[in-house]
Structure 1
Amino acid sequence: MIRALDVARIIFFYILIGSVVLFSPLGPLPSYFLIIVLSLIFMLVSGIEIRPGNPVVGTTAATLAMIALFMIIYAAGGFYIDGLRPDFANALLWGAVLQLFVATGEELSFRNYLFADLDKTAGRKAAAVISSLGFAVMHLPSLYFLNAGPVEAGIALITIFTASIVMTVLFIKAGILAAIGFHFAWNFLQYHVFGFSHMDAALEITKTGFTLLNGGIFGPEASVPGLIVVAATLAAVWYYYSRKERKTAGPEK
């Protein structure tokens, strides 16, 4: 059962990191470095250890999912490719550094602290749902500032919630590096390779057609193909680990 003190601590942490993301004058890299430090402090106070794990499955799953999503939207006419940016190397380098900080900060906070803390008191299923709802809600300001329509915003929140469940499963089964690997690869490919957002990317694309197909300025999480691909990724990751555990357990006697 969740105690009032546990709820208060988690809400305080949530407000704290939300304030850093929204109001910090430090810039993205120092802000996410601060989130990493805050997450480690709260983990220390709560007696939660870091489970490093293996990043391979998470990174691979996100890479395959984002490539599939790029190809689906392109084949359906959701954008056309203008070409490669002349300064694509700088975009890739900056993107890699930025998304490493973002993925590490958000996964330490939402998975290795919030989920792990709730897991001890509320149980695994409730912890996964509550922490993933918090993760989705954290994206509301971005949806607002980018003027996402109500339908696209709704799809984006469901997609982000589902992606959070994917990263929670990866954290449970393979440690925090698996969740960070998924988060990093998804964001890096989406924002800095394929150019699905307003950030500098290796590719220059022009979106065409309905925003429900390409997600508009927010990115493919706000699209129907994005929701379908993330749901399929959750099913694939769940199946992978279920099959792996059955093999490890061996035949029933």
Structure 2
Amino acid sequence: MFFSSVLIEVLEPSAKTLLEFLQNSPVVVFVMAFFIVWIGCWLPLAAIMAMTLNLRLNKPLQPEQKIPLLVSLYLLVPLVLWGINWLGLGSFADYGLIADFSIFGSLLLGFGLGVLGLVVVFIGQFNLGWCYLEKSNIKSILPILLPISLVALFVGGIEELIFRGFLLTNLEKDYPIWLAAMISSLIFAVLHLVWEQRETAPQIPGLWLMGMVLVLARLVDGGNLGIAWGLHAGWVWAIATIDTAELITYTGQVSEWVTGKNKKPLAGLTGIVCVLVTGIILWLFFPGTYL
């Protein structure tokens, strides 16, 4: 008891000083502190997993290697944000994650809109002869349906909590909403380079635009993350299902900059148009309470 009391007496002034510093520091410093703490907590786990998975720095990550690293990294996000909440520096509600059943309705709406948009894009490409459906592979969808759905919901939810939740909300304290949206979307796009550079680089403009549309999705949802989460998860689910089941084969009739460089829709004109049209639909048909 004596030692614990002494420890509290020693740490309490330091904790108060740190809290006061974070409260009075510019938003950029606070945001940087979040990412430093988050990555700092993850690095020991990453080192252990790298040895376990036999990773090599000079070789690209395989899906079976990337997914455990990604899941371990993203699982830490709610814990770090809970710590911020405990310090009184923000809350999940501030970031758009509300404890209300209405968020599930918004989630389903966004998911449906995201999947429908990609279905329309690929049907258009089928009709134009730019690609065709591998009908023999349709049967392989069922076994992967549940795991891909869970991964899509998890990845979409965590990334929205970080970039359209924590990051956007805090940047808005020092910047107008349009600039906060542009900065948070740029960070969102660039950080995707961490996992894969060659295939991700052509997607950077599309990822930035995707981030902007997801900001709009939060705005039209009255500041909640439901529609943005659903859209993000729907896009991830559709693309991951197509890639994993190898459902689409491109004919090469048009440049891959039209259909998507490296078979990535966001690296092509059709994917960018899909995201733009989604944004227009949100703007016209989902008027909400703007932040």
Q: Same fold (TM over 0.5)?
A: yes
State the shift of 1:125 in Å.
Answer: 1.5
Tell me the CA shift for residue 15 of structure 1: 5.5
Q: Does 1:70 align with 2:133?
A: no
**Matches of 1:43 and 1:110 in 2, distance apart?**
17
State the secondary structure of the residue aligned to 1:58. helix
| 1:145 to 1:28, Cα distance in 2 relative to 1, 3 A | same
Range that drifts further, 135-144 or 103-112: 135-144
Secondary structure class of the residue paired with 2:134:
strand
Contact map agreement 2:81 2:92 (CA 8 A) in 1: no
State the 1:129 CA deviation: 1.0
How far apart, CA to CA, are the structure 2 residues paired with 1:94 and 1:31?
Answer: 18
Choose which of 214, 225, 228 in structure 1 pairs with 2:270: 225
The 8 Å contact of residues 133 and 248 in structure 2, kept in 1 or not, is answered as yes
Q: What's the Cα RMSD here? A: 2.7
Within-5 A mapping of 1:240-251: 240-242=285-287
Q: Which residue of 1 aligns with 2:219?
A: 172
- Given the superposition, is the C-alpha separation of residues 104 and 37 from structure 1 closer, same or farther in structure 2, using an over 3 Å criterion? farther
Shift of 1:229: 1.6
Q: Tell me the SS of whatever aligns to 2:143.
A: helix
The one-letter code of the counterpart of 2:281 is A
Q: Please say if residues 220 and 283 of structure 2, whose CA atoms lie closer than 8 Å, have aligned partners that are also in contact.
A: no
* Residue number in structure 1 paired with 2:31: 10
Q: Is contact 1:36–1:104 with CA below 8 Å preserved after alignment?
A: no
How far the C-alpha of 1:178 sits from its partner, in A, is 1.4
1:51-62 equivalent positions in 2, closer than 5 A: 51=96, 52=98, 53=103, 54-62=106-114
Q: Is the 8 A contact 2:213 2:279 kept in 1?
A: yes
CA–CA separation in structure 2 for the residues paired with 1:222 and 1:44: 40
Count of equivalent residues = 229
Structure 1 residue identity aligned to 2:158: G
Partner amino acid, structure 1, of 2:151: L
- Report the structure number with the largest CA radius of gyration: 2
Listed as ranges, the gaps of 5+ residues in structure 2 are 1-23, 50-67
Structure 1: segments with no counterpart, 5+ residues:
246-253
Paired position in structure 2 for 1:248? none
Shift of the 85–67 alpha-carbon distance from structure 1 to 2, 3 Å rule, reads: closer
Take 1:142 and 1:31, find their aligned partners in 2: how far apart are those partners?
12
Contact 1:69-1:229 within 8 A present in 2 as well = yes
Higher RCO by CA contacts (8 Å cutoff, separation 6 or greater): 1
2:257 corresponds to 1:212: yes
Look up the SS of the partner of 1:144 in the other structure.
coil
Amino acid at match of 1:222: A
Deviations 1:74-122 (Å, cap 9, x if unpaired)? 2333322222254322211110111111011101001110001111221
Alignment partners' CA distance in 2, 1:105 and 1:55: 13
Partner of 2:132: 80
Kindly tell me: are residues 36 and 73 of structure 1, through their superposed partners in 2, closer, same or farther at Cα, counting changes over 3 Å? farther
Report matched runs for 1:1-253 at 5 Å. Answer: 5-14=26-35, 24=46, 25=49, 26-42=68-84, 45=87, 46-50=89-93, 51=96, 52=98, 53=103, 54-83=106-135, 84-142=137-195, 144-146=197-199, 153=202, 156-174=203-221, 175-192=224-241, 195=242, 197=243, 200-201=244-245, 204-209=247-252, 210-242=255-287
**How does the TM-score come out when normalised to structure 1?**
0.78
Deviation at 1:39, TM superposition (A): 3.9
CA shift in 2, pair 1:173/1:44, >3 Å: farther
